[in-house]
Amino acid sequence: MTNTVSPMDKSAQVAVIGAGTMGAGIAQVAAAYGHPVILFDMNPEALERGINQIKSGLERQVSRGKMTQDALDTLMANISTATEIEALSDSKLVIEAIIEDLGIKRGLLANLEATCATDAILATNTSSISVTALGAEMKNPERLVGMHFFNPAPVMKLVEIVSGLATSQEVADLTHATATAWGKQAVYTKSTPGFIVNRVARPFYAESLRIFEEGGADLATLDQVIKGAGNFRMGPFELMDLIGHDVNYAVTCSVFDAYYQDPRFLPSLTQKALVECGRLGRKSGHGFYDYAEGADKPTAAVTTGGNAPAQVQVVGDQGVANALIERMEAKGLNVEKQASDTESYIKVGNARLCLTDGRFATEVAATGNPDTALFDLALDYNTATALAVSFADQCSEDAQQDVIGLFNALDINLSVIDDIPGLVVMRTVAMLANEASDAVNQGVCTAADADVAMRGGVNYPQGPLAWADAIGVSHVFNTLSNLQQCYGEDRYRPSALLRRKFFAGAPFHG
């Protein structure tokens, strides 16, 4: 959806309710644009902390040469504080960033309706409560909109503009235009559980948790593969430790319950156990990893050695993995290419190497060559620093050494994991794309906004639907179908929209 609406004028007063980390950050963003901003909190000490948080953050920017002292002074001059709700009466936009409690937020919104002009937009920064439910008791729910910022608000680019059932399109458009003018990447979304980001992101954690629980690989190896092959900034276990397991597990449970226990969002018993024993991650000193001073951090399993490749035979088009062949040629390996319209594999020594498609390597081997190995997806095989492979149970030791030698010749940190269907990055990305596809299919957002949201809100290296296009919609569809067959679970069912794209031979973009 293209928004051609003009943003609020800089002279319009903006109020932010709640002087915590998020509220102070939002106030800073609005003031930086030039709005007169009132930061409201009933607690004067909280207001003082909030103002000091803004000022100290800006002072660090000045000391680094990223901001002038004059700019700091101008921004701070745009912010005033208040402890009485009546001070907000002239505000054109009021953003609440208080505790995530439906009853408390509803009470605040009732006070704001009684205090502010009827044309004032009332926005909520909620990350988990239905905007529709928040507006249910309002006199004019059409002026309530979600404005979901990501922490830290001055740094993170994304803002989800959330429409409840009664939110007017005019209010959503003006809020979207204003957030965009503030330098944010604004996306439209319906008020459904998790909105875009917290819904679509669930498989990033869930798939690695499941692989770990099934003994496919250890934490450090999974984190390394996700980062080194998938190019994600953090591995799922590192990220869950950073977020806090109490928070991450609660979000998963909330989405799971909100979707009536849909198995796609099934919480992890492993993470539940961490919460129950107080291992909440960095903030408690222990989560998946131990953060105590001097504690050993586990290292990823890397397999070295192997047979030096004398020749590599490439049969057929390798699709998204063609860059891996480019890397072989750049390393000076003897690569022989053979055209084929029916087959796609890499032969090195006695081994037949294929890109994972959601089947067990053992299953693939049963249909042909027993010396079968599968390799994982990488965002860019030319620059990947790590990669996972799995071997069929039938695969000979000599063939395994041929595969190991090939990847070591390419200077890739190779992790041999158990024969897990879909490996690590492929099944994670396929599930992310599937969830994004389902959100689009249900009218929650557009394909473009789904990709913008995941890149801007959680720093994914590629939007999941653009990534699906790069892999090939058919390969993603087949991967999910094979995962569903392997596990016999509805969790991996391909989205209806993905199925349509598959049969139409069409990408999500273009």
Q: Any idea which residues carry the catalytic annotation? A: 127, 148, 160, 198
* Cα 261 versus chain centre, distance: 21
The H or E element spanning position 450 is: helix 447-458
394-400 contacts, C-beta under 8 A, 24 or more apart: 394/362, 394/365, 394/366, 394/370, 395/351, 395/361, 395/365, 395/370, 395/371, 396/350, 396/370, 396/371, 398/307, 398/349, 398/350, 399/349, 399/350, 399/351, 399/371, 399/373, 400/351, 400/373
What SS3 class is residue 421?
Answer: coil
* C-beta separation of 17 from 23 below 8 A: yes
Compute CA distances 164 → 22, 136, 444, 484, whole Å.
22, 10, 11, 34
Separation between Cα atoms, residue 335 and residue 136, nearest integer Å: 65
Token pair for 134? 């928040």
Beta bridge partners of 353: 346, 373
Q: Are 217 and 415 in contact (CB under 8 A)?
A: yes
